[in-house]
Amino acid sequence: MTSFPERVFSGIQPTGNLHLGNYLGAIVKFVALQKTHECLFCVVDLHAITVPQDPKELRQAIRRIAAAYIASGVDPAKNIIFNQSQVAEHAELAWIFNCVARMGWLNRMTQFKEKAGKDRENASIGLFAYPALMAADILLYKATHVPVGEDQKQHIELARDVAQKFNNDFADSIAANGHQGGFFPLPEPLIQGPAARVMSLRDGTKKMSKSDPSEFSRINLSDDADAIAQKVRKAKTDPEPLPLAKDGLGGRPEAENLVGIFAALSDSTPDAVLQQFGGSQFSTFKQALVDLAVERLGPIGAEMRRLEADPAYIDSLLREGSRRAREIAEPNMCQVKDIVGFIR
Ligand code: TYM
């Protein structure tokens, strides 16, 4: 297998409010990776419409994700920040991948099963083919590393399977077109960290999610200090004091979640957090968590609101980002077409 230059790609759907899980599971990693890597950060609006969206709200949600990237510290000059639908090659490559991926692979995707629920017959074809589009997002840029939360691991594995099958199926044509080894890299997920899977504040066994009907289940990036304080204070816990070390968190999902969140927000580890708070009651720990969360998230929310008040500015950034993304996407797509046997 050829070695590919390292390149980072990730995306967030413009649906609902961004929450602490999106921030800690994904955006914090983007901010760190921009220091060492060439990065593309996408607002995946084509993915958003796999379930119905109100067009007016969708436009605002696209801008909100872009604002969240920038407000969190992703530099739009250094990195490519753009929305997926402005680079037509995503949809083009996704079609080719629809013809590479197998029904059986997609049938196994847990996110599809969850989102489609019992009424599978009524789910859109886009929702089923969603992971093939995600593979196209990543591979269009030959990205090698994909920072995501744990819930996306299965989708990245599918992207690896698609890359591998394309490389195998078209091996002769890839060689005939002058490429050494495989054409696509096998992208690696970057998942590790104390907040790879942030859980609901109401139920430590359920993922924090945009679609949970309870607002108290999640902290949104747009929450003000009062809302953050209320949600943390109301967060479910158990009656025991905090344990002295990480091992003591076993079987205590709510405690484990809050300690993980504290560790992630303070760039620390669960063990270090428990060295400080082991033996404390939750009331003490929750107050410290409120202070930390407000200190860390407050300025981001404020900056998001400032940016969102100037939609023309965000739109111009997205247009410029999309132009830069196309500079990479277009030549790669031309090569894919040659490999597949299209005339252009
Ligand atoms: P999305 O929009 O659901 O979530 C965006 C990112 O947030 C992470 N995340 C979490 N991390 C930790 N704890 C949680 N509770 C939590 N909830 C969400 C997700 O793992 C994700 O990293 N399919 C993707 C979007 C996508 C994409 C891509 C990602 C489309 N194309 C290409 C990477 C590369 C999604 O629905 O993410």
Query: Which DSSP string do the residues of 215-274 spell out, in sequence order?
Result: GGG--BTT--HHHHHHHHHHS---SSPPPSSGGGGTT-HHHHHHHHHHHHHTT--HHHHH
Span from the CA of 152 to the centroid of ligand 1 (angstroms): 6
Paired tokens of 173 = 């044509």
pTM: 0.97
Q: Report pLDDT digits (tens) over 126-176.
A: 999 999 999 999 999 999 999 999 999 999 999 999 999 999 999 999 999
Question: Above pLDDT 70, what percent of the chain?
Answer: 99
Cβ pair 17, 221 in contact under 8 A: yes
From the CB of 22, is ligand 1 less than 6 Å away?
yes
- For position 66, what pLDDT does the model report? 98
- At 181, is the pLDDT very low, low, confident or very high (cuts 50, 70, 90)? confident
Residue 333 is assigned to a ligand binding site: no
Return the closest-CA partner of residue 28 out of 248, 195, 185, 175. 195
From the CB of 10, is ligand 1 less than 6 Å away?
yes
Write the residue with the smallest CA distance to atom 19 of ligand 1: 149
From the CB of 13, is ligand 1 less than 6 Å away?
yes
Q: Report pLDDT digits (tens) over 194-232.
A: 899 999 999 999 999 999 999 999 999 999 999 999 999
Cβ pair 243, 274 in contact under 8 A: yes
> Identity (one letter) of the amino acid at 65?
I
Residue 198 is assigned to a ligand binding site: yes
Q: Report pLDDT digits (tens) over 245-282.
A: 999 999 999 999 999 999 999 999 999 999 999 999 99
Q: Is 231 a catalytic residue?
A: no
Q: If you average pLDDT over residues 66-89, what whole number do you get?
A: 98
What's the mean per-residue pLDDT of the chain?
97
Domains (ranges, CATH) in the chain?
7-196+310-340 (3.40.50.620), 215-306 (1.10.240.10)
- At 190, is the pLDDT very low, low, confident or very high (cuts 50, 70, 90)? very high
From the CB of 198, is ligand 1 less than 6 Å away?
yes
Q: If you average pLDDT over residues 75-81, what whole number do you get?
A: 98
Write the residue with the smallest CA distance to atom 17 of ligand 1: 21
C-alpha distance from residue 304 to each of 14, 47, 293 (Å)? 14, 23, 16
Q: Is 35 a catalytic residue?
A: no
Paired tokens of 261 = 């969140």
Q: If you average pLDDT over residues 56-62, what whole number do you get?
A: 97
Q: Report pLDDT digits (tens) over 296-325.
A: 999 999 999 999 999 999 999 999 999 999
- At 77, is the pLDDT very low, low, confident or very high (cuts 50, 70, 90)? very high
Nearest atom, ligand 1, residue 130 CA: 23
- For position 1, what pLDDT does the model report? 59
pLDDT above 90: residue 193 = no
C-alpha distance from residue 159 to each of 140, 175, 326, 341 (Å)? 11, 22, 21, 22
Span from the CA of 343 to the centroid of ligand 1 (angstroms): 36
- For position 194, what pLDDT does the model report? 85
Q: Is 210 a catalytic residue?
A: yes
Write the residue with the smallest CA distance to atom 33 of ligand 1: 10
Nearest atom, ligand 1, residue 148 CA: 22
Q: Of 142, 153, 210, 337, which one is the catalytic site residue?
A: 210
